[in-house]
Amino acid sequence: MTTDPPGAENARAREQRLDALYAAHGRSVLAYAVRRAADEDDAADVLAETFLVAWRRLDDIPSGDQALMWLYAVARRILANQTRGERRRQRLAERLGRELVSALETVAPSEPAAVPIVAALAGLGPDDREIVLLAAWEELSPQQIGAVLGITQIAARSRLHRARKRLRALLDHPAEVDEVDQLNIQEAV
Amino acid sequence: MTPTDVIEILGAANPLPRGVAAALPLPAGESELLRGIVADRSGTTVRAVRVHRRVRRKFALGLAVAVAAVAAVTVVPFGGGGGGPTPAFAAALVRFANSTPRLLLQIPGWHVVFVEQDPSGGGEMHFARGRVNAQGMPATSLTGEPSLLDRYAQLNWGTNQIERRFIQSGRQNIPTGLGVPVRRLQLEGRAHGWMDVIASLIFGNREVSLRMTVKNMSDLRSALLALTQVDATTWLEAMPPSVIKSANSGSAIRQMLEGIPLPPGFDATKIPGVNTTQTNYYLGTELTGAVACTWIADWNQARTSHNTAAESRAIAAMATAPKWPVFRWMSRQGAWPQVLISYAKAMRSGEVTEGRPGIPLVAAVNSGLGCAQLGVHLGPGSNDFQPVPLGSTQIR
């Protein structure tokens, strides 16, 4: 009979928690990253960095549905605040990136009718764009969007309402809104 | 049928739908990733401590500068608050005021038109110059007439809890040339020569963001300098008539519940935060939400126990939702009634579909109406709206 070294049980429990967290939410976070990253390798890196943060802050992660919102928030900040070069330091996701390239080759492209709205998305500011994408692609409620963006449900609801109106206007009257050039004055790092 | 809602149209353009993501064949990459993460021993604890310390120093600096900036502002008498005797606000309302950042945009001619704070402590205020529409807010359309664009501003603040979790992003104040400490400054759009700008600042221990439309950066600087933290009385004096003073909340609750079939034993005074609700609309969402959640909890219980009479009673009660008197005016101000009515209609099937594979009603309602926050527990299945387990091809 072998005896585990001190702390081994705790380490195993943490690993099990990480495995459970990934089993519950990993594919959702991966999908979030694929929808926004430059390519498959970058998406895999965002996923790796997100779960690395989760591993290091395992005790801070809320339970249930809120865990996914927490992970989305981390992934969002990684996408926004890190350059691609910084993300690739870990090299944890090289194999996953390669597998993702081949797996995504079989995914059917989105409906052609939706192309104009994807183009119109470019006319939204980054905050408005993210809020409509969280609603449309991650299928989050205003309450969940609020948790991801760190704003209240009330704020999320009204911002989503306004972003929808803007997107609708961009879709209906692209000529009128070509002056809505999106420009980040400055984004804090 | 051609979808008309932009979210629905955009949903069809999802490059990787949830069910497809769940079914992607990734035989080894994920397990290799997880083992690599677990093997990571790169000074986790030390690094975490260092990050915390660095963030704290940044916040301390930001706070000091923010306080200095506020102290430098000349206080302008605001709205109709000055002159008369100071009204005595009920203790509950003062407590509520003190739970907010107590900020006002102190620019002559501007006034508060809207304020809401949810029970978790995050909230939103709207300020307007001049007249407002029936909803209490100026039009905000980008394609509206230019003169409308500089008439409103929106202030949002988060909860302390959210900030503790999210504020550790390592962001700090950025050089803007505005002379005001700003953590983030973003141009959301331009129209008719105006800029739609969001500026995030720290007041006390909270991050707030001010969104407004300005002609130039000088106007933005003036607005940011006019954002002033005031005492509770000054803040309450500036509230619009739509804010329910706590002394009137009992009668407001009775009026709003008129014509609504209440579940057995329903007691509105037990709704968390109902006595510190700030606006008619928000009080309406809490009351009707609690009623709907309670009926749907009864319905869920009845289905579980095969009590068809109780199930039918709950369905019949909720079927009256489209005619609830309070929804007549609430539907002009927001989408809450529409959402609640859609849940009422879904009680017959037990699923919310919205054109996609169905989500169990109790799970959708729990998330959509925030039943847990309203003190109502829906029972079995209410937390089932979870992403797919690894390797599953099902949507849920």
Question: Which band of pLDDT confidence, cut at 50, 70 and 90, is reported for residue A72?
Answer: very high
Task: Tell me which residue has tokens 């619009």.
Answer: B240
* Among A61-70, B173-182, B311-320, the range of highest mean pLDDT: B311-320
Quote the percentage of chain B above a pLDDT of 70.
Answer: 63
Fold of A11-104: Rna Polymerase Sigma Factor; Chain: A (1.10.1740)
Q: Which of residues 36-55 of A touch B (CB under 8 A)?
A: 44, 47-48, 51-52, 55
**pLDDT exceeds cutoff 60 at B86:** no
What's the pLDDT at B113? 81
- Provide the chain A residues 57-86 that lie in CB contact (below 8 A) with chain B: 57, 60, 64-65, 68, 70, 73, 77, 81
Q: Where are the domains of chain B?
A: 50-237, 246-370
CATH 1.10.10.10 residue window(s) in chain A: 112-172
- pLDDT confidence bin for B322, thresholds 50/70/90: very high
| Better pLDDT: A119 or B38 | B38
Residue A177, chain B, CB below 8 Å: the answer is yes
In which residue are the tokens 């005021």 written? Answer: B97
Mean pLDDT score, B83-101: 68
To test the contact with chain B by mutation, choose from A18, A27, A94 the residue with the greatest count of B C-beta atoms within 10 A, namely A27
User: Tell me, what's the pLDDT at B105?
Assistant: 92
pLDDT exceeds cutoff 70 at B141? no
pLDDT, one tens digit per residue, over B170-217 is 345 566 667 777 877 877 666 666 777 888 888 877 888 888 878 888
Residue from the list B8, B40, B166 with its beta carbon closest to the beta carbon of A73: B166
**Choice between B235 and A65, residue whose per-residue pLDDT is larger:** B235
| Interface touch B170/A135, C-beta < 8 Å | no
Residue B145 has pLDDT above 70, yes or no: no
Residue entry with tokens 């720290």? B202
How far A16 CA lies from chain B's nearest CA (Å)?
10
In this structure, the dihedral spanned by the alpha carbons of residues B349, B355, B360 and B362, taken in order and rounded to 10 degrees, is -90
The mean pLDDT value for B346-357 works out to: 71
Q: What DSSP string runs through A31-57?
A: HHHHHHSSSHHHHHHHHHHHHHHHHHT
ipTM of the complex in this document: 0.82
Interchain pair B156, A127: CB under 8 A: no
Check CB contact under 8 Å for A184 and B187.
Answer: yes
Phi-psi region of A10 (alpha: psi -120 to 50; beta: other; left: phi over 0): alpha
Helix, strand, coil percent content, chain A, rounded in steps of 5 = 70, 0, 30
How far apart CA A83 and CA B161 sit, in angstroms, is 28
Specify whether the CB–CB gap between B89 and B245 falls below 8 A. yes
Mean pLDDT taken over chain B: 70
The pTM for the full model equals 0.44
A188–B29: do the CB atoms touch at under 8 Å? no
Tell me how close the Cα of B162 comes to any Cα of chain A, in angstroms.
Answer: 6
| Structural tokens at position B84 | 């008369």
For the stretch A77-113, pLDDT in tens is: 888 776 665 555 556 787 888 888 888 877 776 665 6
Within chain A, all domains assigned CATH 1.10.1740 are found at 11-104
Distance to chain B for A175, nearest Cα, Å: 11
Mean predicted confidence (pLDDT) in B92-117: 84
Classified as helix, coil or strand, B283 is helix
Residue of A nearest to B13 (CA): A110
- Pick from B6, B48, B190: CB nearest A167: B6
Residue A174 is predicted with a pLDDT of 52
Min Cα–Cα distance to chain B from A108, Å? 8
Structure tokens at B284: 């309406």
CATH fold of the domain at A112-172? Arc Repressor Mutant, subunit A (1.10.10)
Quick one: pLDDT band at residue A138, thresholds 50, 70, 90? very high
Q: Give contacts of A 116-175 with B, CB under 8 A.
A: 117-118, 121, 124-128, 132-133, 135-137, 139, 141, 143-144, 146-147, 150-155, 157-158, 161-162, 164-169, 171, 173
| A141 vs A148: CA distance, rounded Å | 11
Residue B279 DSSP one-character state: B
Query: Which pLDDT value is given to residue A169?
Result: 79
Query: Does residue B338 register a pLDDT over 60?
Result: yes
Q: What is the pLDDT of residue B321?
A: 96
Residue B311 makes CB contacts below 8 A (sequence gap 6+) with: B299, B302, B303
Using a CB-CB cut-off of 8 Å, the residues of chain A touching B386 are 24, 64-65, 68
> Which tops the pLDDT comparison, A22 or B243?
A22
pLDDT of residue B258: 94
Produce one character per residue of A112-138: b if its CB has 16 or more CB atoms within 10 Å, e if not.
eebeebeebbebbbebbbbbbbbbbbb
Residues of B with CB below 8 A from A113's CB?
9, 12
The pLDDT of residue B332 is above 80? no
